[in-house]
Amino acid sequence: MLNISEVLETNKMIQDENLDVRTITMGVSLLDCADAGVGATCEKIRAKILRIAGGLVRTGEDISREFGIPIVNKRISITPISLVGASCCRTPGDYVTIARTLDRTAGELGVNFLGGYSAIVSKGMTPSDELLIRSIPEALAVTERICSSVNVGSTKTGLDMDAVRLMGETVKATAERTKDRDSLGCAKLVVLCNAPDDNPFMAGAFHGVSEADAIVNVGVSGPGVVKYVLEQMRGADFETLCETIKKTAFKITRVGQLVAQEASRRLGVPFGIIDLSLAPTPAVGDSVADILKEIGLEQPGAPGTTAALAMLNDQVKKGGVMASSYVGGLSGAFIPVSEDQGMIDAVNAGALTIEKLEAMTCVCSVGLDMIAIPGDTPAATISGIIADEAAIGMVNQKTTAVRIIPVIGKSVGDTVEFGGLLGHAPVMPVNRFDCTAFISRKGRIPAPIHSFKN
């Protein structure tokens, strides 16, 4: 029988330590919506999403009320739209028409975001992939809820450097196209390497072709809970520290598992995966940076940060894996800058640079995330940053990503306000040395050798 201290512990996590389920993301395959005409494709897409995901928001709200656990986001991920539109889209404008349909449909359903305005071009781009990528700046400017992602490489295929070059230009064009809103479009655009098919988190969520027709994926959260238990562990040895993080991750993940199973049962859609990520928010106390401080760093970015983060990330996975029947997605600690007050403070204190963040992404999920950079940063430099991050993912067999915002009209020292969960960010300096000659080369970087590991 449950005892009062267990019940009060759970409710304290929810009420005081920001424990929540960050997202229920329903994956919907749109492969059967492809048609020869743009209008017909849009109609089929709308009808299918409404049919499969019609009850998503209400079900999420019901579960939240009945179990007393906040479910922050209800989202949809779809088949990469470059595949769905391949047979009908002849211009970037055709893809934008699909984006508008998706946005309207997401609005009708009341979901927070819809992800999958995507192309998977790990080895090369088809004409439709390229059209989609060229449509991204306009699509993100004229829609509200659409998230876009492009996968430019993988451990097995190497890096498509033509796509890397094009994505540098696309990020820059998206920033220009949304400059009246502090280049907000770039906050909904992520460039990935080794993108998983079942990620529930935005902006990189899409419903991969390896997935079933529809699926429910859940992303849990809870940096605040981990931070609180570590406050009680000051001075403890690493064994105690790791055991504590594991136990806490287990408890957090069990809540996610419960929500996922309930959502799956009520919606009549199979349960896919739990994503074991520690996802921060700009709310005070809901910060991965604060955990790093609690582990013993004055600020994230101090020497020791990469080791502390590696340990945190590994313990979260070890604790979470046993709590869930299926684990997938990104599964690791997120280190976005604008979405984590502790990270913002570390940047403002001069403790954290893009280079240190890059090192941190070697040991955790997922990459250079929500980083504002000067608006005059050249497209080639952005491509260089993307290539570096993708190379880390390719060589280390992990997912990496770049979601940076070159804020047009702003420079180092300025602050950008994105609002809501996207938070606010100080504009960070970027290495000003040129990489144009490297980025201008055509073709691919071959897949890495999988032996002689050093």
Partner 1 sequence: MKKAIITVVGRDTVGILARVCTFLAENQANILDISQTVVQDYFNMMMIVDTARSSTPFADLVGGLDGIGKELGLQIKCQKSEIFEKMHRI
Interaction site with partner 1 (CB under 8 A): 1-4, 6-11, 62, 65-69, 251, 254-255, 257-258
At position 394, the amino acid (one-letter code) is M
> Least distance from C-beta 264 to partner 1, angstroms?
14
115 versus 223: smaller Cβ distance to partner 1: 223
Cα–Cα nearest to 426, from 368, 356, 346, 357: 346
CA atoms lying within 13 Å on the CB side of residue 244: 18
> Least distance from C-beta 58 to partner 1, angstroms?
11
CA 90 to chain centre: 30
7 versus 31: smaller Cβ distance to partner 1: 7
Query: Would you say 149 and 196 are in contact if contact means Cβ atoms under 8 Å apart?
Result: no
Q: How far apart are CA 439 and CA 433, in angstroms?
A: 13
**Which pair of tokens denotes residue 63?**
């579960």
Cα–Cα nearest to 273, from 364, 194, 363, 197: 197
> Least distance from C-beta 43 to partner 1, angstroms?
35
33 versus 260: smaller Cβ distance to partner 1: 260
255 versus 295: smaller Cβ distance to partner 1: 255
**Which pair of tokens denotes residue 57?**
């928001």
- Return the ∠ at Cα 314 (arms to 20 and 259), rounded to 5°: 25
Q: How far apart are CA 117 and CA 135, in angstroms?
A: 10
Separation in Å, CA 92 to CA 47, 128, 136, 370, 411: 23, 9, 8, 26, 31
**H/E run at residue 389:** helix 379-396
> Least distance from C-beta 261 to partner 1, angstroms?
9
**DSSP secondary-structure letter at 219?**
E
66 versus 239: smaller Cβ distance to partner 1: 66
Query: Would you say 55 and 266 are in contact if contact means Cβ atoms under 8 Å apart?
Result: yes
> Least distance from C-beta 2 to partner 1, angstroms?
5
249 versus 344: smaller Cβ distance to partner 1: 249
68 versus 93: smaller Cβ distance to partner 1: 68
DSSP states along 138-156: HHHHH-SSEEEEEEEEETT
14 versus 86: smaller Cβ distance to partner 1: 14
C-alpha torsion sign, points 369, 374, 379, 380: negative
Strand partners, 21: 71, 220
> Least distance from C-beta 329 to partner 1, angstroms?
20
> Least distance from C-beta 108 to partner 1, angstroms?
24
Q: How far apart are CA 167 and CA 248, in angstroms?
A: 39
62 versus 314: smaller Cβ distance to partner 1: 62
**Which pair of tokens denotes residue 250?**
């287990």
64 versus 400: smaller Cβ distance to partner 1: 64
> Least distance from C-beta 10 to partner 1, angstroms?
5
> Least distance from C-beta 269 to partner 1, angstroms?
20
> Least distance from C-beta 312 to partner 1, angstroms?
21
Q: How far apart are CA 89 and CA 41, in angstroms?
A: 10
